[in-house]
Amino acid sequence: MKQTFLLLFFSVCMFSQKKTELFNSSKLGEPREITISLPHSYENNPTKRYPILVLLDGDYLFDPFYGALSYGAYWDDLPETIIIGINQKKTRMQDCQYDDTEGLPSKKGAAFFEFIGSELLPYIEKKYRTAPFRIIAGHDTTAGYLNFFLYKENPLFNAYISLSPELAPEMENRIPDKLSKLKKTVFYYQSSADGDIKQLREPIQKLDGNIKLTSNTLVDYKYDEFKGASHYSLVVFAIPNALYQIFDSYKPISSSEFSDKIVVLQEGHVDYLIKKYDIISNKLSLKPQIRLNDFKAIEAAILKNKAYRELDKLAEIADKNYPKSMLASYELGLMYEKMDDPKRAAAKYQHASQLEEIGDLTKDMMFNKYEDMKSLITKK
């Protein structure tokens, strides 16, 4: 249901800073129009770093990507992202030139390749707070062209979104070969449709088959072939699928993840939480603050399984993520309460009442908890 709505959602004002500027490129020998969108939180969160998305065909792909990322960020399913759209309305064929014999960028295509790698990316990463995670996306001609960045020994991008690509010679074989030799995690997404341009579909399907024969565990690959879609309409179906594939590990703990993977554990609930955020860091080079709802999910699993001593470790993580809040003291108070130690529980709840409220944890709640524990001490 969420993804269905996402297809229609291109107007949420989650990205508040959007500007278009002319970038004077020495590699191209001409200025190039680029559109840059900064996340809503950019100004108010001066230490946060953001992944970047470079859009080829930015003149028409910018808005659908902008909307999809806005919607996903609203629900915290996708990270806020810096978007850079390159306007290629009048230049896309020249920008994507390649040599028919060698199957490599040539003439203006070679200059455009250098423009992105040695001018645009350094400019963006110097001017803005970027995380070391780069995505590139394109459609048909530009979708084929973006694969040239995979040919480098150390690819410039971490994720590739190739929407109905027009493949250069030998790409069906070169791309799988390059993917099989990668030494770092790369996300690769491509799509087509039953109503796609016929001469594009056969090479795309051949490439799909060849990639599936590779066995590199560092490659996170997905291919979609949409039913009832055309060469152009497949774009709005593919964009959310691609983004949710790339950022799958970023999502908060869902109800199904809780019931299928967490609550079934007899122990190690906090270790699960640590591992989840380590994966986000290792795969996406992002270091998000552990979500409060994820804390509560782990707490619920601990209580369900009566693994009360794990609340001590959960409190340690809470103190690192929310040091000014009452969360850590509350978790310790809860641990002592469940372990039938009302004296220590009362002390922790009293301390919590002096700290900042967070989520549904309030000072009144801590005072009430404190009074409850004091009454138990009196009875004893």
Q: For residue 351, give the H/E element and its range.
A: helix 342-352
Residue 144 has pLDDT above 50, yes or no: yes
Task: Give the separation between CA 150 and CA 279, rounded to whole angstroms.
Answer: 23
- In this structure, the answer to whether residues 113 and 262 fall within a common structural domain is no
- In this structure, the answer to whether residues 187 and 297 fall within a common structural domain is no
Task: Give the separation between CA 135 and CA 157, rounded to whole angstroms.
Answer: 6
Q: Residue 263: which CATH number?
A: 1.25.40.10
> Which percentage of the chain shows pLDDT scores above 70?
95
- In this structure, the answer to whether residues 243 and 259 fall within a common structural domain is no
- In this structure, the answer to whether residues 208 and 274 fall within a common structural domain is no
- In this structure, the answer to whether residues 202 and 271 fall within a common structural domain is no
Task: Give the separation between CA 266 and CA 277, rounded to whole angstroms.
Answer: 20
Distance from the Cα of residue 182 to its chain's centroid: 21
- In this structure, the answer to whether residues 133 and 238 fall within a common structural domain is yes
The predicted model gives 238-252 an average pLDDT of 98
- In this structure, the answer to whether residues 124 and 207 fall within a common structural domain is yes
Last residue of a domain, one of 214, 233, 250: 250
Q: What pLDDT digit, counting tens, does each position of 150-191 carry?
A: 999 899 999 999 999 999 999 999 999 999 999 999 999 999
Packing angle of the helix pair 310-321, 292-304 (nearest 10 deg): 170
Last residue of a domain, one of 250, 274, 307: 250
Provide the domain count of the chain: 2
Residue 11 has pLDDT above 90, yes or no: no
Extract the tokens encoding 93: 């064929």
Q: What pLDDT digit, counting tens, does each position of 297-310 carry?
A: 999 999 999 999 99
Helix (H, G, I), strand (E, B) or coil at 112: helix
- In this structure, the answer to whether residues 280 and 166 fall within a common structural domain is no
Residue 14 has pLDDT above 90, yes or no: no
- DSSP string of 113-165? HHIIIIIIHHHHHHHS-EEEEEEEEEETHHHHHGGGGGGSSS-S-SEEEEES-
Residue 61 has pLDDT above 50, yes or no: yes
Last residue of a domain, one of 197, 216, 250: 250
The predicted model gives 107-123 an average pLDDT of 98
Q: Categorize the per-residue pLDDT at 149 as very low, low, confident or very high, splitting at 50, 70 and 90.
A: very high
Extract the tokens encoding 358: 């967070």
Give residue 222's domain range.
Answer: 2-250
Helix (H, G, I), strand (E, B) or coil at 197: coil
- The mean pLDDT of the chain is 94
Beta strands (DSSP E) in the chain are: 17-25, 30-38, 50-55, 82-86, 130-139, 159-163, 186-195, 219-230
The predicted model gives 36-65 an average pLDDT of 96
Residue 261 has pLDDT above 90, yes or no: yes
Contact 269, 301 (CB under 8 A): yes
Q: Categorize the per-residue pLDDT at 380 as very low, low, confident or very high, splitting at 50, 70 and 90.
A: low
- In this structure, the answer to whether residues 293 and 157 fall within a common structural domain is no
- In this structure, the answer to whether residues 24 and 148 fall within a common structural domain is yes
Q: What pLDDT digit, counting tens, does each position of 228-239 carry?
A: 999 999 999 999
Q: Residue 127: which CATH number?
A: 3.40.50.1820
- In this structure, the answer to whether residues 246 and 266 fall within a common structural domain is no
What is the DSSP-derived secondary structure letter of residue 362?
Answer: -
- In this structure, the answer to whether residues 217 and 364 fall within a common structural domain is no
Extract the tokens encoding 338: 């469940």
